[in-house]
A = this chain, B = another copy of it.
Amino acid sequence: MTDTIIKIDLNKSAYEHDNVHNRWHPDIPMVATVKPGDDFIVECFDWTGGQIENNDDASDVRDVDLTKVHFLSGPISVEGAQPGDLLEVDILDIGAFAEQQWGFNGFFSKQNGGGFLDNHFPEAQKSIWDFNGIYTKSRHVPGVEFAGILHPGLIGCLPSREMLDMWNTREKELFDTEPDRTPQLACLPYAETAHMGRMKGDERNSAAAEGARTVPPREHGGNCDIKDLTRGAKVYFPVYVDGAGLSVGDLHFSQGDGEITFCGAIEMAGWIHMRVNLIKDGMAKYQIKNPIFKPSPMVPKYDDYLIFEGISVDENGKQHYLDTSIAYRQACLNAIKYLTQFGYSEAQGYAIIGCAPIQGHISGVVDIPNSCATLWLPTDIFEFDIQPNANGPVKHLDGSIDIPKAPDLKS
């Protein structure tokens, strides 16, 4: 029986757990030790540490404190791991807790984090997704059910001191170009809500003041939100500190490419079963800077798609130069508009492309001035036919159900 080396208690605050942290720092103490070849289980909070509830009120999404995220389980020390090695991680399995077979997807208020389409969806909304074995569906988004591709949104090893400094420097430089922007350009260190694991006192305080926030993906992996890092996948992580210091969290039941709604997957608490091995001096041998990985042999074969294109001309008709993010945003908007013809609200459309295993492809990046991005919407996740035909679309939903919204509070 596989050991669960990090256990959590959902009834207690994440801050009460010393095997959890929410910042990246080289000095966070290891909370468990494993050997190459070992497999083990790690329990994880949802990324917000339980701030979001299974109900029909989106005010918890509106009011979420984003300085507290993401709560990660770890760091785990791997015997023999040294800077320059590659840590090979087999993701053997992932699951929700038996007593909490549900997850949530949220749109953050533009005043508090926002998301990829926050100009179109400026206020907080929340959908709850129930898990039925390998499948999920939502009482807030009728007519769609699909198999999850469970994955950790966030996983990686502790940075070295040099790497941490580099992160802080470059992000501060960006932040400083427009310090008053909302949403802000970067999430800088913030000591108050930092959870530094087992660090205490002054040591904790000084580390908290410089600990890197967990929001962006970086060289070590981190918050990559790659939907394909699922059970069965194998990842090679760069190692920067002795013992590697592997941490993981932000489990997702499913997500589309881009994690477009920011609180963007079907977020859940749960456990992950992993196995680790080392490739000594692997970073130099393979010239690896960012993690590389191999996909699982086990993925849903939703391979009939309806594919939407977008180019880098924005919603106002303005031409941008090879901007792939704008191109993808247009593809997203085109898909949402299309779905409304079948009876979905625009918010439901947004949730679907955020939660379901849609693909986002970079189709053309050289045909000046337009990038071309494509959004691949799997047709088999719908309970009705969404393909075009000569008769036109059929409205399958009557609009009586929508995704709960929590308007911004007047200040």
Residues of chain A touching chain B, judged by Cβ–Cβ distance below 8 Å, are 1-2, 39, 86, 88, 90-93, 98-99, 101, 115-116, 132-135, 146-147, 166, 170-171, 173-174, 183-187, 215-219, 221, 223-228, 231-232, 236, 257-262, 264, 273, 275, 277-282, 285-311, 313, 317-325, 328, 330-331, 334, 337-338, 340-341, 359-374, 376, 380, 385, 387-390, 392-393
Q: Apart from A259-B367, A260-B365, A287-B338, what are 16 other A-B pairs with CB-CB below 8 Å?
A: A92-B134, A93-B133, A116-B365, A134-B298, A166-B317, A186-B319, A226-B372, A228-B374, A236-B388, A262-B367, A288-B334, A293-B306, A294-B304, A299-B301, A360-B361, A362-B373
Query: Min CB distance, A221 to chain B, in Å?
Result: 7
Complex alpha-carbon distance, A380 and B170, angstroms: 38
Cβ-defined contact, B328 with A324, below 8 A: yes
- A116 partner residues in chain B, CB cutoff 8 A: 365-366
Complex alpha-carbon distance, A32 and B315, angstroms: 36
Cβ-defined contact, B307 with A92, below 8 A: no
Quickly give the copy total for this chain. 4
Cβ-defined contact, A259 with B309, below 8 A: no
Q: Identify A285's interface contact among B1, B101, B217, B392, CB under 8 A.
A: B392
Complex alpha-carbon distance, A187 and B231, angstroms: 41
Complex alpha-carbon distance, A186 and B318, angstroms: 13
Complex alpha-carbon distance, A281 and B389, angstroms: 11
Complex alpha-carbon distance, A363 and B373, angstroms: 12
Known: A288-B334, A297-B302, A369-B216. A313 touches B364 (CB 8 A): no
Known: A133-B273, A216-B368, A310-B290. A323 touches B320 (CB 8 A): no
Query: Min CB distance, A293 to chain B, in Å?
Result: 5
Cβ-defined contact, A364 with B319, below 8 A: no
Cβ-defined contact, A311 with B290, below 8 A: yes
Complex alpha-carbon distance, A296 and B319, angstroms: 31
Complex alpha-carbon distance, A293 and B330, angstroms: 15
Complex alpha-carbon distance, A216 and B393, angstroms: 31
Complex alpha-carbon distance, A153 and B41, angstroms: 29
- A376 partner residues in chain B, CB cutoff 8 A: 295
- A367 partner residues in chain B, CB cutoff 8 A: 215-217, 223, 225, 259, 262
Cβ-defined contact, B174 with A321, below 8 A: yes
Complex alpha-carbon distance, A369 and B367, angstroms: 26
Q: Identify A227's interface contact among B226, B277, B286, B363, CB under 8 A.
A: B363
- A392 partner residues in chain B, CB cutoff 8 A: 279, 281-282, 285-286
Q: Identify A298's interface contact among B259, B299, B323, B361, CB under 8 A.
A: B299
Instruction: List 19 contacting pairs A-B, 8 Å CB cutoff, sorted by A.
Output: A90-B133, A92-B132, A92-B134, A166-B317, A171-B319, A173-B319, A174-B321, A184-B368, A216-B311, A216-B368, A217-B364, A218-B313, A258-B366, A259-B366, A262-B367, A285-B392, A290-B310, A297-B380, A361-B361
- A226 partner residues in chain B, CB cutoff 8 A: 307, 309, 363-364, 372, 374
Cβ-defined contact, A303 with B303, below 8 A: yes
Query: Min CB distance, A353 to chain B, in Å?
Result: 12
Cβ-defined contact, A309 with B292, below 8 A: yes
Cβ-defined contact, B231 with A133, below 8 A: yes
Cβ-defined contact, B368 with A215, below 8 A: yes
Cβ-defined contact, A290 with B309, below 8 A: yes
- A286 partner residues in chain B, CB cutoff 8 A: 338, 341, 388, 392-393
- A363 partner residues in chain B, CB cutoff 8 A: 224-227, 257-259, 360
Query: Min CB distance, A275 to chain B, in Å?
Result: 7
Complex alpha-carbon distance, A303 and B173, angstroms: 40
